[in-house]
Structure 1
Amino acid sequence: MTLAQLFIFFILCQILIFLKLWKLYRIAGYSSYSALIPIYNSIVLMRIIRRPTWWVVLLYIPIVNLLMLPVVWIETSRSFGRNSISDSVYTLLSLGLFGFYINYFINVEYKKDRDLKAKTKFGEFIGSTIYAIIIATIVHAYFLQPFIIPTGSLEKSLLVGDFLLVSKFHYGARLPQTAISMPMMHDTIPLIKSRSYLKKPQLPYLRLPKLQKIKRNDIVVFNWPADTVRQFFKKEKRVDKPIDKKSNYVKRCVGLPGDTLSIVDGIIYINGTKSEMPYRANPLFPYLAYSSQGISSRKLIQNGIDDFNFRKYVIKNINQQIFDELKSQINVIDNDLKNFVVLTGPKGLPIKTVKKYRIQASEILESKKKLFLTEKEAENLIKTMPLDSLVQLIKIKTFNEDFFPNNLKYNWNEDQFGPITIPKAGDSVEINKVSFPLYKKIIQDYEKNDVKVLKNRILINNQEIKTYAFKQDYFWMMGDNRHNSEDSRSWGFVPEDHIIGKPVFIWMSIDGFMDGISNWKPRWNRIFSTVGGEGERKSYFGYFVGLLIIWQVLVFIRKRGKTN
């Protein structure tokens, strides 16, 4: 829906209000024509139903208005004596069109002094619940939204099990584009697993004024541009989603509009200069460690390194009972009962199970092991462990379709990429056979142009073009866990209209979050800490608890004083 179409829809709604309520306005003592004047008709209606004028604002906020409209419909019916439960049901089932029946087919009297208080406890509960949902929806859609980190693509900056608060207002809150959607639900209704929204109508892209622009190397939450799945890790028919219902991703913005980005041997360069990462950014790179003495996973973990693929154990007393207990957590590579060899994740065999069944297991030390390390971790590891060598694994260029722009003419990968210019609104780029694959998705999908390629000619909206001017800004997003992150290197640019917000606060952090609730352990040093900032991460949870205790003591003293 364009702005022009939205304006026409708005005018039609005003006409509908007039046709439905003009007579009721007159009965209530107002001019019938006041029902025809946009915005003013809503203000007058609030006076008629004796509700606050600021409710008018809620009627024009997307998503929130879906909650407010039924309330106003029922309040209008009650203001003219239609107080029964059946009247409320008819009002809701008719989507407010019951007002036509009241306006044209029955004689009604305006109840100016009607009691606004709920007549039953259940009525009070419903009213309180609706107000609570409205306030939560406003906060969720326009100010702060909670997110959970489910994958390790930003290790060690953000960890799996970090619970984030994401600011919508830093980069300017994006108004919801999907007009009809369940409040505070993304794309799926929990439990029943069905779609939580209607694809139409779609509102035009609008964003409230921003506090700041996205800065290079900011961590940003956005809608995944390439999202065509209803459920991750499940093969099914392609699903086309509205922008604001695409899956939420969090990455680091390493490239801004107008930047020329390249990656050489895993290092990012912006406009020919090596990109300097913030203090808390800890990019991970793959290394291969060699040691003739064998590499101990236990010692790696003691050194703070747990980002490796597996551990290998031999179990001497395997039996059916032990196997049944372990089979969901191991991969068997040798099923000889006397020499039962298994692979586990980095945490190894579960200690509780080992103790419970007295499992006789020993870890097989391998002479080489693939590790994912930061540069500092690599330097320290050489000093603290008896390694023969530690070699960073760097891919060479090979032509492929796995990485953006997913075209055999390009030989880019995780470690060798670009140079590529990130589009900026208003800037033009030359379009030819070589550059077209880089910008085709932008021109065709994000900026909604009709694209045709006829031999050596590229037609946009049936006109042959040599250059193209971009309509919006684009960004380049990457994970810090460079070889375990699906990011812009796989699917390209992130349009500005996909930006959601800026993670600002970690209010909870749980180690083992994906391993079941029995394995959860709070990371106390991360709870109530900021996402960005210079210096070491600091938890403010202790300060919060202290203030909470002081507040409760003051409340107790105040109550005791009143009692005395």
Structure 2
Amino acid sequence: MEGNEILGIFLIGLLVILLPAIGLYGMFKKAGVAPWAAFVPFYNTWVMVELAGMKKYWFFLQFLPIVGWFISIAIIIDFVKAYGKFKFWEHALTVLASPLYFIYLGFNKTDKYLGAEAITAHKKSTTREWVDAAIFAIVAAGLIRMFVFEAYVIPTPSMERSLLVNDFLFVSKTAYGTRVPNTPLAFPLVHHTLPIVKTKSYLEWIKLDYRRWFAKPVKRNDVVVFNLPVGDTVINDEERYGSKVTYYDALRSEFNGNRTALWDAYGDIIITRPVDKRENFIKRAVAVAGDTLEIRNGVVFINGKPGETPPHSETNYVLKTKGQPLDYAAIEEEYGIRADVGEVRDLGNNLYEIFLTKEQVAVFSKLSFVETLTPVNYAYEKDTRGIGGIDVYPNDSVYCKWTIDNYGPLFIPKRGATIQLTVENYSRYERVIRTYEHNDFEMKDGKFYVNGTATDKYTFKLDYYWLMGDNRHNSLDSRYWGFVPEDHVVGKASLIFFSWNKGPRWNRIFRSIK
């Protein structure tokens, strides 16, 4: 953990003990101690520990990273008990609204300081003890998940073999600075949908603008978890659509751009989501803000130089055997290549599509049953679906005749960078300017208008990133939906804490992610 991350954790703890300071002033005064102590960080909790009759070691436990936040909350809860506040709703107000609740306690004429003896004399029922413990655990886990780290499981083979299906990860939310939630009113420990009832897990009564505490940029080649940028509008049918076939894909490919027809067909299940509740994806940042990206015959170039190849990345080849069928069980046992996750499939006539790492290619080329092993490389063809032209970002087969293997060059927008607007690059930056940076942007008769003003230039307000899967031919990534704005970045994948494939993958547990 780096210095600014430690500082961020410390400052969050500082907020916990300073937010109720105004009310504490009145409460300390009622208890007969110096009221100014309410405004002195940590000395105020020392006073609370003494007034509540707690053991002194509770004060020192506050300085433990992250855990200290919840120790401070526990001290505050015990402190209000010295004012006769033992009911569940009173403790809930203490946790959720202490700045306001403490002002009420500190300055009304009814509530008095009763002393630590009142705490000792009060007995809680066993049920209440368990309820309090459960609520505290949920609040603590929710805050950690919101601000510090989150568990994530790899659902698809798009990052094979750097990350495998059913790898369980810890994602650090402090690595790039802690992002303040856009929708703070949300059910804890779930993402956008409540299980079983299948309704939204959040309320949009309060919407906060993008803020990130102690922000740091994403570094090139980091493995990043982010909110899917094109997940702002969703056809809420995970079996057929959802994040697999996005709203924009369906609009373009199934309805030929006819928005009215799409809404007539699916309007009752189309939903919109705020940034922090869009689907979580995980990919590698192959290019960062200010880079120029190009892909030539499957090789990524950054600023004109070959990019770094992930050590365990794989791509697909066409394998031809010498007459005999491929033994799926044998190649899974020997090389870990699995047909059940799409790493090999039969094309007929002794041909197989197979996904291999660079190291595996060297091995398979020498196997006795292999006649040929040919890499797959997609060149532009007008009518080819799914890999080029209108089916890759920016869905422009006039000025961007690109494929997933031959792409760009494309400048990655950078905060403060200014570009010349042209007819050729309009489609590349239209969504950035209009959707991500909230401008009215249009092109009329070859001229450009931003918020009603004619201009031929635009200066970006945010940093953007280009995210791709290590499994380059089996990954829905930036090549299909474009740039990832900085406000969509969730965190950095840091550690595999568990992995499963018909049993634990022991060799992957507690492995750092590179």
- Tell me what 1:404 maps to: 393
Comparing 402-411 and 256-265, the one that deviates more: 402-411
1:433–1:33: structure 2 CA closer, same or farther, 3 Å change rule? farther
Which deviates further from its counterpart, 481-490 or 116-125? 116-125
Q: Give the one of 503, 507, 511 matched to 1:525.
A: 507
Q: Deviations over 1:118-144 (max 9, x none)?
A: 622333333333433343334323332
- AA matched with 2:362: E
Residue in structure 1 matched with residue 119 of structure 2 by the alignment: 116
Q: 1:45 offset after TM fit, Å?
A: 12
Length-normalised TM-score, structure 1: 0.67
Structure 1 unaligned residues grouped into runs of 5+: 1-13, 311-344, 349-362, 512-519, 533-564
Structure 1 residue identity aligned to 2:505:
R
TM-score by length of 2: 0.73
Partner of 1:475: 465
1:142 equivalent in alignment to 2:125: no
Contact persistence 2:228–2:488 (CA under 8 A): yes
Q: CA deviation at 1:447?
A: 1.3
1:191 match: secondary structure = coil
For residues 394-433 of structure 1, the aligned pairs below 5 Å read 394-399=377-382, 400-409=389-398, 410-433=400-423
Report the secondary structure of 2:379's partner residue.
coil
Query: Residue 228 of structure 2 corresponds to which residue in structure 1?
Result: 224
- SS of the residue 2:229 aligns to: coil
SS at match of 1:216: coil
SS of the residue 2:170 aligns to: strand
| Percent identical residues | 31
* Post-superposition offset of 1:49: 8.6
Shift of 1:288: 4.4
Q: Distance in 2 between matches of 1:48 and 1:461?
A: 60
SS in 2 for 1:136: helix
Count of matched residue positions in the alignment of Structure 1 and Structure 2? 451
Larger radius of gyration: 1
Match of 2:271 in 1: 239
- Separation in 2 of the partners of 1:364 and 1:442? 40
Q: 1:250 aligns with which of 271, 278, 282?
A: 282
Deviations 1:495-540 (A, max 9, x none): 11211222221111101xxxxxxxx3111211222222xxxxxxxx
Native 8 Å contact 2:478 2:484 kept in 1? yes
Q: Residue 441 of structure 2 contacts residue 449 of structure 2 at CA under 8 Å; is this kept in 1?
A: yes
- Decide which of 427, 438, 452 is 1:462's aligned counterpart: 452
The one-character-per-residue Cα deviations of 1:241-297 (angstroms, maximum 9, x if unpaired) are: 22222111111111111111111221111122222314x332323424353344443
Quote how far apart the aligned CAs of 1:426 are: 1.0
Query: Does the 8 Å CA contact 1:217/1:253 hold for their aligned counterparts?
Result: yes
Q: Which residue of 1 aligns with 2:337?
A: 306
Shift of 1:466: 0.8
C-alpha contact 1:295 1:366 (8 A) present in aligned 2: no
Pair 1:488 & 2:491 matched: no
| Structure 1 position 149, deviation (Å) | 0.5
Q: Secondary structure at the match of 1:195?
A: coil
Q: Does 2:287 match 1:283?
A: no
Deviations 1:335-391 (A, max 9, x none): xxxxxxxxxx7799xxxxxxxxxxxxxx99852122222233223212113233222
What residue identity is the alignment partner of 2:406?
A: Q
1:178 maps to what in 2? 183
Q: CA deviation at 1:442?
A: 1.1
Find the counterpart in structure 2 of residue 158 from structure 1.
Answer: 163
Judged with a 3 Å threshold, the aligned counterparts in structure 2 of structure 1 residues 407 and 285 are, in CA distance, closer, same or farther, namely same
- Indicate if the aligned counterparts of 2:51 and 2:116 stay in contact, CA closer than 8 A: no
**Alignment partner of 1:116: what SS?**
helix
The one-letter amino acid of 2:170's match is L
- Tell me which moved more, 47-56 or 140-149: 47-56
Instruction: Quote the offset at 1:223 in angstroms.
Output: 1.4
Shift of 1:159: 0.3
CA RMSD between the two structures: 4.4
Secondary structure of 2:230's counterpart equals coil
